[in-house]
Amino acid sequence: MDVLSDAIAIMRSGRPRSARVAWRAPWGQRFPAVPGSAGFQVILQGSCRLVPPSGDPLVLGAGDVVFFPHGHGYGLADSPSTPLAEPACDPLEDAGLFVSDSAGHDGPLTVTLCGGYRLDPRHAHPLLRDLPEMIHLPARPGRHPELRAAVDLLGNEVGDPRLGADTVVLALLDMLLLYILRAWFEERPAQESGAGWARALTDPAVSAALRAVHRDPAHPWTVQTLAAEAGLSRAAFSRRFTTLAGRPPLTYLTWWRLTIAAGFLRAGDAPLGEVAARVGYGSEFAFANAFKRQFGIAPGRYRRQSSIDSLREAAPGR
């Protein structure tokens, strides 16, 4: 199994949203911070300035992708001197999967594609906590062709919806998120030599053990059997995994088992004993104790609370 895909799937909630906006200078818009979300901006045409909460504005050109993994606020404008207005549209709050709009005045044209994803911080994978406030992937010939292709396809679908657009846009938004993160994780190890998930995912030994855990979390893994997957001695593997992943192998295994158990509880009504067995616990009692230690709530109560939360999110007007 793919660790990055699993990490995204376990914390995604609801449907993503997207918006294609044609701006005519002068224009400026503020995008407020949205805790529990991640968002992106892609410049499809023209150029603009990204205005961070602090520091100098960043010049963005056609093909540039900017990702905000922690929902931090920022501004976009045709010029650093243009005032920032409140949002004309908010992809996370808009009722539709995608919208297309225009704003500004009668100056040079800039076309942007923005999107937002709801994330559940209770199930955030540690690899996502390693991400900076902002990831900028400038357009470079020959770099990340899959990302560029996804951007082009998504921009076309949002700008000119046709039959099946809902399904296509949903798939492309998921693809775009993974391509953005893949690009960052692939580039990061070459820039630094320290620890962290960028290096853990590209380290042959540690990534082999992670794939084994994600492939079969219910397996009775030990440090020794995971070391065998990694092709290292027990001691060498334990040191390497702990250094790069930030926690010992079995601590990560327990965390991942209980995290996917929480996903099972949110998504279905399987008996607790069945959920326990699916994530490697021999008894419902042992599972319930471990679950409460991690989440501070018993699994049955967690399931009931999740059902209530889902109904509230689906209520009209929200």
Sign of CA dihedral 72, 151, 96, 47: positive
Check residue 63 and give its pLDDT.
92
| Most confident among 101-105, 289-293, 314-318 (mean pLDDT) | 289-293
Average pLDDT over residues 62-71: 94
- The whole-model pTM stands at 0.85
Close Cβ partners of 111 (under 8 Å, ≥ 6 residues apart): 20, 21, 22, 23, 43, 44, 45, 46, 155
From residue 59, give the alpha-carbon distance in Å to each of 38, 74, 77, 131, 155: 21, 13, 10, 21, 21
Closest CA relative to residue 67, chosen from 196, 183, 189: 183
Cβ atoms of 200 and 245 within 8 Å: the answer is yes
Which parts of the chain are beta strand (E)?
12-24, 28-31, 37-45, 47-51, 58-61, 65-68, 74-77, 98-104, 109-119, 135-137
Close Cβ partners of 270 (under 8 Å, ≥ 6 residues apart): 264, 278
Check residue 35 and give its pLDDT.
87
Average pLDDT over residues 38-44: 94
pLDDT band at 316 (very low <50, low <70, confident <90, very high): very low
pLDDT in tens, 153-167: 998 888 888 889 889
pLDDT in tens, 197-210: 888 988 999 999 99
pLDDT band at 15 (very low <50, low <70, confident <90, very high): confident
Neighbour-count burial of 232, counting CB atoms closer than 10 A to its CB (0-12 exposed, 13-18 middle, 19+ buried):
buried
Distance, in Å, from the CA atom of 109 to the CA atom of 138, rounded to the nearest integer, reads 20
Which residue is listed with tokens 């990061």? 188
Close Cβ partners of 129 (under 8 Å, ≥ 6 residues apart): none
Close Cβ partners of 295 (under 8 Å, ≥ 6 residues apart): 122, 258, 262, 302
Q: Which residues pair with 273 in a beta bridge?
A: none
Any idea where the domains of the chain sit in the sequence? Answer: 3-190, 197-310
Q: What is the mean pLDDT of the chain?
A: 88
CATH match for 3-190 among 1.10.645.10, 2.40.110.10, 2.60.120.280, 3.30.160.270: 2.60.120.280
CATH match for 197-310 among 1.10.10.60, 3.40.920.10, 1.10.287.110, 3.60.130.10: 1.10.10.60
Take residue 25 and report the two structure tokens written for it: 């200078």
Res 317 pLDDT > 50: no
Closest CA relative to residue 108, chosen from 75, 139, 82, 138: 82
- In the chain, the amino acid numbered 192 is E
Distance, in Å, from the CA atom of 8 to the CA atom of 6, rounded to the nearest integer, reads 5
Check residue 282 and give its pLDDT.
93
From residue 104, give the alpha-carbon distance in Å to each of 26, 28, 87: 6, 8, 12
pLDDT band at 23 (very low <50, low <70, confident <90, very high): very high
Take residue 56 and report the two structure tokens written for it: 């100098």
